[in-house]
Amino acid sequence: MFKDITLGQYFPVDSPVHRLDPRTKLILLVMYIVAVFITDYIWIFGFVLLFMLFMTYMSRVPISYVTKAIKPMKFILPFMFLLNLFMIKTGTVLFSWRFITVTTGGVYQALFIILRLIALVTGASLLTLTTTPVSLTEGLERLLSPLKIIKFPVHELAMMMTIALRFIPTLLEEADKIMKAQLARGADLESGNVLKRAKAMLPILIPLFVNSFRRAEELALAMESRCYHGGEGRTRLRILKFHWNDLIAFLIMAGLIAAVVILQNTFKIDSYLAAWVKALIGAAQ
Amino acid sequence: MPIIIEKLSYTYQSGSINAFTALKDIDLTINDGEFVGLIGHTGSGKSTLIQQLNGLMQPTSGKVTVDGFDMNDKKQRAKGRALVGMVFQYPDYQLFDETVYKDISFGPRNLKLSEDEIDRRVKEAMRLVGLDFDEFAEKSPFELSGGEKRRTALAGIIAMYPKYLVLDEPMAGLDPAGRRAVLEMIDSFRRQLNCAVVMVSHSMDDIARSAEKVVVLKDGEIFKMGTPAEIFELADELNEMGLEPPFAARMASALRARGISLPGCIYTNEALVNALVEFKGGHSNV
């Protein structure tokens, strides 16, 4: 029943993107998000999305895997689109019916928000597709390590993330077994109203929680019996090192940000586009 | 009416590159009141097969009918499922309620029985699994020991009065005394409720003691099916499959190899003792 859910969505191929240091990729994602947010004009987004396509091509991950990330947003995207379409009342009025007013500014802003969300989600998804969860947490731990100075528990946080990721498949499998055990006892999970159905989930949730707590305790004991005592003085099997390809990746990303900034300040053709959208909608009416 | 499995095949993730055929062309009938032992190596498809018996999994192809109810049909499945009681390997997967009493009554309550009938059945089930009502009824199932949890889980199924009782490794993780106790319990309520039992076990000794029919699964196919005597005759083949024949059968074959002539089909300790006594020319008092 839960077998179809893929959480750790790592796509195992070898590519220049896969080989990058996880720290590099995390920083690149932050830079990419900056690039997305400083983009003020819709047409520059075409540029950013083109860059995204290029990165996907470099990573050898099929494009369909990257766009899969948009699927869970099938409700939020139309919602955001309509909200912006009806709430923004700048520019010229295109369409008006009772309390509903659509303006050029609204159309523009709605498209803009959608593109921005898609750009963000596909970017983040490319990171998880090309980086194993383990190296991702390792990279995060190393990146956040300066925070240790202010007593922020970086190692503990990373360890918790690693453990959580490790046990997600175990939990799913266990939930499946528990569900079957209760179905065999005649549990009815599908009929009734929301309240009744929530109540019917109790026989599944309680064993799941009880077993998780027991497992956590056993895991803690197993770790302590192998002398685990936190991050202090702990050495690593694999030591992360920056290579020349990380530098190239940084330069490319810096290039993107520079291009966005320059393009925005040089060609202010955005108003032309707005006029074009207006003309198009006018023609449609 | 029996459980009839016809030409059943099951493929995990069929259609994808990870497709894995767990069961191939299984034909099997489980008659009323029969005790069927199911043995096979890890990964031979035992667990997949028993989950088909009550429709928790549906075959990729083929058909399962429980007392005439077609388990491929969604409406008939619920009726068929009510006849098949299924006890999973680990009691931790099913115990959830505040008290042992409430937990055991979960199944009967789902059958929409009257309160009086539920009460009667819970008491009966607790008696059958050997849990003292006054001591355990109000205890939390999470405070129990491993053996007590298993009894509670078993009682939760027995209280549904299944016509077919399916047990997945009911003795896993129990000590020898616990194993014997569970096996005796299964025997006793089989007689009292007159139900058929399908038991999956790694332990040939346990199967040899109680089963009337033994099914050996190998790589998702029925390798051999027959009476315990017929199956344990094949000691060498079982050994090759990584399944250890019962102690008595191994002992008998070792003795035969040393030139002691013993009759065939020895697979229980009692039969072995009798044969040895006879060989020595004495009289058995076992």
Reported residue count of chain A is 285
Give dist(CA B105, CA B160) in Å, integer: 9
| Residue A112 buriedness (CB in 10 A; 0-12 / 13-18 / 19+) | middle
Q: Complex ipTM, two decimals?
A: 0.83
Judge whether residue A1 has pLDDT over 60: no
Give dist(CA A125, CA A77) in Å, integer: 17
Judge whether residue A189 has pLDDT over 80: no
- The minimal CB distance from B142 to the residues A182, A203, A210 is found for A210
**Helix locations, chain B, DSSP H:** 46-53, 74-81, 100-110, 115-129, 133-136, 146-158, 176-193, 204-210, 228-232, 235-240, 247-257, 269-280
Q: Do the strands B164-168 and B196-200 form a parallel or antiparallel pair, or are they unpaired?
A: parallel
What would the pLDDT profile of A241-279 be if each residue is shown by its tens digit? 888 889 999 999 999 999 888 887 776 655 666 666 677
Task: Report the 10 Å Cβ neighbour count for B262.
Answer: 16
What would the pLDDT profile of A109-135 be if each residue is shown by its tens digit? 888 889 899 899 889 888 988 988 888
CB contact under 8 A, A181 and B51: no
pLDDT at B283: 63
CB contact under 8 A, A181 and B160: no
Contact pairs from chain A to chain B, CB under 8 Å:
62
DSSP character for B60? S
pLDDT band at B284 (very low <50, low <70, confident <90, very high): low
Single out the residue of A118, A127, A123, A121 nearest to residue A52, CA to CA.
Answer: A123
Give dist(CA A278, CA B16) in Å, integer: 47
Structure tokens that stand for B5 in this block? 């499995």
Residue of A nearest to B166 (CA): A184
Reported residue count of chain B is 286
Kindly report the pTM of this predicted structure: 0.73
pLDDT at B16: 66
Mean pLDDT, rounded, of chain B: 86
DSSP character for A54? H
Domain boundaries, chain A: 16-131+241-284, 164-224
Structure tokens that stand for B75 in this block? 């409406």
CB contact under 8 A, B93 and A187: no
A21-25, A180-184, B150-154, B233-237, range with the lowest pLDDT = B233-237
pLDDT at A5: 44
Residue B174 and residue B150 in contact, taking contact as beta carbons nearer than 8 Å: yes
pLDDT band at A218 (very low <50, low <70, confident <90, very high): very high
Judge whether residue B103 has pLDDT over 90: yes
Give dist(CA B98, CA B177) in Å, integer: 29
Residue of A nearest to B57 (CA): A180
Interface of A to B at Cβ within 8 Å reads 3, 174, 177-178, 180-188, 202-204, 206-207, 210-211, 214
Q: Spell out the residues 6+ positions from residue A255 whose beta carbon is closer than 8 angstroms to its own.
A: none
The arithmetic mean of pLDDT across residues A224-237, rounded, is 84
